[in-house]
Structure formats: structure tokens, C-alpha cells
């Protein structure tokens, strides 16, 4: 990162991401927590763009901010009212300790590891590179994925069909 604009953008996005995550943990109403989570996901997508990983950013918006959060809203809507409260539990100090330990581990790994030279340069044209790899070199896994989706679809139809 070089320019002032990039540094400013990083701090703004980091504030949005971490701030929303803190709201998720603190707010009592689960639906509000999910909305805050969407903010956190969007912040991460912004960080991906800063790292010039555009494809990952778009996927992040589509899958996390879009699909996963909708799935969570459905899950909350279908749970009984009593279980919808983001209430205090006896485990919260343990959870806090675990989360802090995880943060410490990730920071340690990121700083101690001697990353190769490629990791320090930016990527070029990620979307087209991924598309080409998928349809040329890795076309077989790509095709197997379609078989996988067929099996999953058949299974889903059988599972939810009324009879």
C-alpha cells in the first residue's frame, strides 16, 4: 500500500468490518446481529478490492453478504421465539478468551511466516485468470462440480417432496 487514499480506505474499511463484528457480538436481537454481520461481510469485500482480488470481492458479496445472511434470517425466522435472543451465557468469557487466542494465533502466523515474494506483489486480472484456469487446465474438476450439483439437487428434491 502506498498512496494516502489507499491507507485511508484501508482504515475506513477496517473500522466498518471490525465495528460491525463487535455489534454482532453485543446486540441482543438476532435479526439486528445478522444485519450488522452483512456490514462486516461488505467491509471484508472492500478489503479484498484493496488487495486487488476483485473476483474474491464479488464472490464475497454474492455468497456471504447475499446468500449466507439470507439463510441466517430464514434460520432465525424458523426458530422458536425463546431461542431468538442473543442472551448472555455462562460461556461468554470462555468465548472471549478463545476469540482472543485465535486473533493472537492469526497475527502470529501472519507475522512470523516468511511469505514468498509472490505474496508481496499484487495480483493481476484475477477474474480472467480464474476463468481461464477453470475452463482449460481445471476443466475436469469444473465438470465434476456439475455432477455434484446434480446429485445435490436430486437429493434435495427427494428430501423435501411431500408424500
Binding site for another protein (CB under 8 A): 109, 112-116, 118, 137-138, 140-141, 144-145, 147-148, 150-152, 154-155, 157-159, 161, 163
Q: CA–CA distance from 26 to each of 14, 29, 85, 92 (Å)? A: 18, 9, 12, 11
**Residue matched to cell numbers 511469505:** 115
Q: Minimum Å distance from CB 109 to another protein?
A: 7
The answer for residues whose C-beta is within 8 angstroms of residue 148's C-beta and 6 or more apart is none
Q: Minimum Å distance from CB 60 to another protein?
A: 16
Q: Minimum Å distance from CB 102 to another protein?
A: 13
Smaller CB separation from another protein, 103 or 148: 148
Helices marked H in 87-138 — which ranges?
92-112, 117-120, 126-135
Smaller CB separation from another protein, 91 or 159: 159
**CA 104, 50, 141: angle at the middle one, nearest 5?**
85
Smaller CB separation from another protein, 87 or 148: 148
Q: Minimum Å distance from CB 133 to another protein?
A: 10
Amino acid at each position: 500500500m502506498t498512496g494516502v487514499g489507499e491507507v485511508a480506505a484501508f482504515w475506513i474499511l477496517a473500522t466498518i468490518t471490525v465495528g460491525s463484528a463487535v455489534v454482532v457480538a453485543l446486540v441482543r436481537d438476532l435479526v439486528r446481529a445478522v444485519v450488522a454481520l452483512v456490514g462486516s461481510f461488505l467491509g471484508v469485500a472492500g478489503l479484498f478490492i484493496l488487495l486487488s482480488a476483485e473476483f474474491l470481492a464479488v464472490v464475497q458479496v454474492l455468497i456471504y453478504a447475499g446468500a449466507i445472511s439470507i439463510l441466517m434470517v430464514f434460520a432465525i425466522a424458523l426458530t422458536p421465539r425463546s431461542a431468538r435472543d442473543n442472551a448472555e451465557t455462562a460461556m461468554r468469557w470462555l468465548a472471549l478468551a478463545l476469540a482472543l487466542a485465535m486473533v493472537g494465533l492469526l497475527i502470529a502466523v501472519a507475522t512470523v511466516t516468511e511469505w514468498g515474494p509472490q505474496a508481496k506483489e499484487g495480483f493481476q486480472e484475477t477474474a480472467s485468470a480464474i476463468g481461464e484456469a477453470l475452463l482449460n487446465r481445471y476443466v475436469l474438476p469444473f465438470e465434476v462440480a456439475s455432477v455434484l450439483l446434480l446429485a445435490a439437487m436430486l437429493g434435495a428434491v427427494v428430501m423435501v417432496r411431500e408424500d
